[in-house]
Amino acid sequence: MNRVPLAIRKTGLVTSVGLSAPASCAAMRAKITNPSETRFIDSAGEWIMAHQVALQQPWRGITKLAQMAVLAIDEALADVPGSKWHTVPLLLCVAERERPGRQAELDGEVFAKIEAELGLRFHEASAIVPHGRISVALALNQARQLLMQPGIAQVLIVATDSLLNWPTLSHYEQRGRLLTASNSNGFMPGEGAGALLVGLPDQRDALLVGGIGFGKEAAHIDSEEPLRAEGLSTAIKAALADAGVQMHDLVFRITDVSGEHYYFKEAALALSRTLRQRKTAFDIWHPAECTGEAGALAGAAVISVADAACRKDYANGPAILAHMANDSGTRAAMTLQYRSI
């Protein structure tokens, strides 16, 4: 049991519906989407649709990942003097290494390009977190430990990812996982970047990350095992225990689900396995309906949406459950609490 809360001090977000956190979160609140045709064609001869981020130049690949990350970093560190940026550890969240189509040199190159673009080197405690959709949860757990070290007052968590390359899209299209005119049980691919500046709680209003938990699902999406949501249930129970709260203390959920029936079913099953007192409503929000399935961006989008909703007072309440899942079966959950001083 850790119970060391983290305060979300500032967010940055770059998505297909906005190039800043306020713009993206406002679009997601209004359920605005912005899919467009890619340059790729599916097996039926139709253009694959995706949530693409429009930048000033037509960057692609690792260069675009770095450029999106830089925009999010500039936003998240807007209140930190530039002379102090090098004292902040950067935990860079990227695609999991087993993802089809992932470039082998991704880890080192994207980090180097970000530092080169910003013209600085981040704190020596900086690290790569290559675990896709659960990366941000892992990074938050790692930030807890870093903030206990002398001289580290803030940690910057950055996620940047894209599914918009042919090897990746081809893999998912062949397995019937892309949303197309002939397949409603699929996701629309996307891309984007997010940044979270975190620290220990102080005398300011803040969204607090109270509990973090992890689990492993044997019946992952590519297995043939019956789904019972045991992995996600384990992660949720661990997060609740870490925060010292019960499931019925929370008001609603924000998750990374992006369209596939499997993940919606898992979320419903996990709720039934962890909620022990009846609630009249336990809403579920899923930002990916507006941003598309964008891998590591999921965790940053979930936290940014929760932060904006609480600060602007349109959240269902101040106590939130967030959870994410990787295709390989790894699961993560977090309890969030908005504290107003």
- Residue 226 class from Cβ within 10 Å (0-12 exposed, 13-18 middle, 19+ buried)? exposed
**Distance, CA of 56 to chain centre:** 24
Cα gap 266→216, rounded to integer Å: 13
- For residue 185, what are the CA distances in angstroms to 51, 71, 173? 17, 33, 12
For residue 51, the cross-strand partners are 190
Q: Which residue has the tokens 């450029």?
A: 67
Say what the pLDDT of residue 186 is.
95
User: Greatest CA separation found in the chain?
Assistant: 58
Q: Do domains 6-199 and 206-339 have the same CATH topology?
A: yes
Rounded Cα–Cα distance for residues 133 and 187 (Å)? 14
| 3-state per-residue secondary structure call for the chain | CCCCCEEEEEEEEEECCECCHHHHHHHHHCCCCCCEEEEEECCCCCEEEEECCCCCCCCCHHHHHHHHHHHHHHHHCCCCCHHHHHHCCEEEECCCCCCCCCCCCHHHHHHHHHHHHHCCCCCCCCEEECCHHHHHHHHHHHHHHHCCCCCCCEEEEEEEEECCCHHHHHHHHHCCCECECCECCCECEEEEEEEEEEECCCCCCEEEEEEEEEEECCCCCCCCCCCCCHHHHHHHHHHHHHHCCCHHHCCEEEECCCCCHHHHHHHHHHHHHHCCCCCCCCCEECCHHHHCECCCHHHHHHHHHHHHHHHCCCCCCCEEEEEEECCCCEEEEEEEEEECC
Q: Beta strand pairing status for 90-93 and 127-129?
A: parallel
CB 330 within 8 A of CB 214: yes
Fold adopted by 206-339: Peroxisomal Thiolase; Chain A, domain 1 (3.40.47)
Predicted confidence at residue 203, as pLDDT, reads 87
176 CB neighbour count, 10 Å cutoff: 12
Q: Two tokens at 240?
A: 């609740």
191-214 residues labelled b (16+ CB within 10 A) or e (exposed) = bbbbbbbbbbeeeeebbbbbbbbb
Structure tokens at 66: 């770095």
Structure tokens at 160: 């940047």
Residue ranges covered by each domain of the chain: 6-199, 206-339
Could you tell me the mean pLDDT of each successive run of 10 residues in the chain, 341 residues long? 84 98 98 95 93 95 97 97 95 96 91 97 97 98 95 97 96 94 94 98 93 97 93 98 96 96 97 92 95 97 98 96 97 96 75
**Cβ–Cβ contacts within 10 Å for residue 314, how many?**
10
44: number of Cβ within 10 Å? 10
CATH topology of domain 6-199: Peroxisomal Thiolase; Chain A, domain 1 (3.40.47)
Residue 146 is encoded by which pair of tokens? 């870093």
